[in-house]
A and B are shown apart, each in its own frame.
Chain A
Amino acid sequence: MKLTDEMKEALSIIGGGGAVVHLTTCSADGKPNTVAERFVGVFKDEYIVIADMFAQKTRVNLFENPIGVITIAHPVKGRTWAFRGPTTILQEGLPPDYEFHGAVAKEVLDEWGNWAEKEPPSEVPPDIKPPRLVQRGVIIMKVEECYSYKPEEAGKKIL
């Protein structure tokens, strides 16, 4: 599924601290984990990428149950979107030709493996800014569906 231009814009805010989303994963037996993530981008129109800096339970969950939901934290202009699809973490050390649902690890890491250099979060207030950006890898979702989370139409298919 290709993300629309409006979706890519909403997920790729540069400056102002960047886009913020919630990433929900769950264990194989169904215990959910929902955390806010602020370093978000788009890869090749079909994937949402998030810097893996401090993910802990997310990592455990994705390695046993590789699916997630990403929800826009600050919806404007009716962008009450939830994206769902297979999700994993790509990290340096994987074979260069390793693929996750069509995304080649080396290409993803070359583009998004150093967020601090690509899009430094200079506008994040000091009391919530991470002490030092140490990126371990890239969380990547192949978007397979998008539904609305607007209360009166929750679950309505958008794409």
Chain B
Amino acid sequence: MAKLTPRMRNWLEGLGAHIGTATKKGFPTVIVVDSAKVEGDNIVKFQLSDAQVEQIKQNIEENPRVALGPGGLGSIRAAYQFKGAARLEGNTLIVEVNEIYCTKPGPEAALRLDVLPYESVIKFETTRWRDTGPPK
């Protein structure tokens, strides 16, 4: 099971994500949410507007798979991609993350992080980035 690190959590909660969805035949639609709430090891919750719910509801119903790219400054500094299964409860999009990838440009692009021991992921982060989240 994927486990988000404190750094991942801080970036997602602080600046949200670009959320990729698709029909089951692969037609993509993206919404952007500027904050999130992380619960437990791998649950990310986003509060959506009515218009956002309307935009992705059909996609999520027929194909719950989503991809999350950290938003705002996180698009540069938080080089992660999270993939998982989503469901809508009212206006809350609940994502259970089950894959985590590094998207840092270079030889480690697409490295899958959730299959590494958690301690190794923490070490990976601390040896590559100085921050632990977005600036206050």
Tell me the A residues contacting B by CB distance below 8 Å: 17, 20, 22, 24-36, 38, 53-54, 56-57, 65, 67-69, 71, 73-74, 80, 82, 84, 127-131, 149, 151-156
Measured in the bound complex, the distance between the Cα atoms of B48 and A68 in whole Å is 22
Across the interface, do A30 and B32 meet the contact criterion of CB distance under 8 Å? no
**Candidate in A36, A57, A80 with the most chain B CB atoms within 10 angstroms:** A36
| A99: min CB distance to chain B, Å | 23
Across the interface, do B26 and A22 meet the contact criterion of CB distance under 8 Å? no
Across the interface, do A20 and B26 meet the contact criterion of CB distance under 8 Å? no
Q: A17-B76, A54-B106, A151-B51 are in contact. Are A80 and B21 (CB under 8 A)?
A: no
A38: B residues at CB distance < 8 A: 76, 105
Tell me the B residues contacting A by CB distance below 8 Å: 18-33, 48-49, 51-52, 54-55, 63, 65-73, 75-77, 79, 81, 83, 103-107, 109-110, 128-130
Across the interface, do A33 and B51 meet the contact criterion of CB distance under 8 Å? no
Measured in the bound complex, the distance between the Cα atoms of B75 and A53 in whole Å is 17
Across the interface, do A34 and B49 meet the contact criterion of CB distance under 8 Å? no
| B76: min CB distance to chain A, Å | 6
Across the interface, do B48 and A35 meet the contact criterion of CB distance under 8 Å? no
Q: A30-B23, A71-B30 are in contact. Are A20 and B76 (CB under 8 A)?
A: yes
B73 to chain A: closest residue by CB: A74
Question: Mind listing 5 A-B residue pairs with CB under 8 Å?
Answer: A20-B75, A30-B23, A32-B20, A54-B105, A84-B29
**Candidate in B19, B30, B81, B130 with the most chain A CB atoms within 10 angstroms:** B30
